[in-house]
Copies of this chain bind each other. A is one copy, B any other.
Amino acid sequence: MTEPASAETASVRNPSARLIDGKAFAANLTQTIAHEVRAFHDRHQVTPGLAVVLVGNDPASEVYVRNKALQTHRAGMRSFMHMLPETTSQAELLALIGRLNHDPEIHGILVQLPLPAGLDPVAITNAIHPDKDVDGLGEVNAGRLALGQPGIVPCTPLGCLMLLKSELGDLRGLHAVIIGASNLVGRPMARLLLAEGCTVTVAHIDTRDTAALARQGDILVVATGCHGLVRGDWIKPGAAVIDVGITRISLPSGKTRLVGDVAFDEAVTRAGRITPVPGGVGPMTIACLLNNTLAAARRIVGGAG
């Protein structure tokens, strides 16, 4: 019953979409990875290691980096934190990346973005060795994904793809509409879904009738950072909706709430499946970082297990 051709009927029978539980999926994936990390160590006497580099004192970045380190450690991997002052020069940062590239204990390197002004994020991202670029944001991994060659896929779109395949099975021939064309989500998502055999449309800030395009999507991925942008009538009945947006809004009560780019209460009556915010795509990102770090260690060590 994962065939979207019949999903419209299904949504008439059940006017509320099935929730895609990213939190549970991510927890399962993390548990599987922890198990595989132990097996990898038993086989190769090597523990996968992830180096996370943070420059400056952005409070949000500090939270992200701490979370990544903690989950890496919990999955049984080694976690190395490099927290550098705001005054770090480009040359110093490149020198650190150079050392990490050659360090046999490090299989993944992640430089937390955004970087302070004066540091060139493109040059720094590209300085990470492609085999250790576990964020998949460097030019070589972007090229490998674009060309359909094996490489490291950015964590958030990889997480979205895992959820979609788990819900829908084979995606071949489905029309995927992606709203948002960032290098972090929209564009790599397009390349991934094309590789899965989807017909792919990318809409963005310059698109003229985004609602009409969105309504064509058997799959609708929204990553704009514009909360509540996608209304219920933008959604093809029965579609699988992946909401990557996450914004904290203030309520009249003075409390705050996390919301996505999709108007959830409307969308849930039209979609066949939908990710909630929070608890949908968000938890998948770190799980995919762990996934990519283990995969990198496997490639670097050269074994299959």
Per-position 1/0 for A132-158, Cβ under 8 A of B:
000000111111111111010000000
Interface residues on A, range: 35 or more
- Contact check, B139 vs A173: say whether CB atoms are below 8 A apart: no
Instruction: Specify which of B138, B145, B200, B204 is in contact with A202 (CB 8 Å cutoff).
Output: B200
- Contact check, B199 vs A203: say whether CB atoms are below 8 A apart: yes
- The chain B residue sitting closest to A200, CB to CB, is B202
**Contacts A139-B143, A143-B146, A199-B202 supplied; 14 other A-B pairs, CB < 8 Å:** A122-B147, A139-B149, A139-B151, A140-B140, A141-B143, A142-B143, A143-B143, A146-B187, A172-B206, A175-B207, A199-B203, A199-B204, A199-B206, A199-B208
- Is A119 an interface residue, CB under 8 A from the partner? no
This protein's copies in its complex:
2
- Contact check, B194 vs A187: say whether CB atoms are below 8 A apart: yes
- The chain B residue sitting closest to A178, CB to CB, is B200
A188 to B188, CA, bound (A): 13
Provide the main secondary structure of the chain A interface.
mixed
- Contact check, B146 vs A191: say whether CB atoms are below 8 A apart: yes
- Contact check, A138 vs B146: say whether CB atoms are below 8 A apart: no
Which B residues are CB-close (under 8 A) to A183? 146-148
Per-position 1/0 for A182-221, Cβ under 8 A of B:
0100011011001001111111101110000100000000
A140 to B183, CA, bound (A): 15
- Contact check, B187 vs A213: say whether CB atoms are below 8 A apart: no
- Contact check, B173 vs A149: say whether CB atoms are below 8 A apart: no
Given contacts A138-B143, A142-B143, A143-B138, contact A181 B202 (CB under 8 A): no
A140 to B138, CA, bound (A): 9
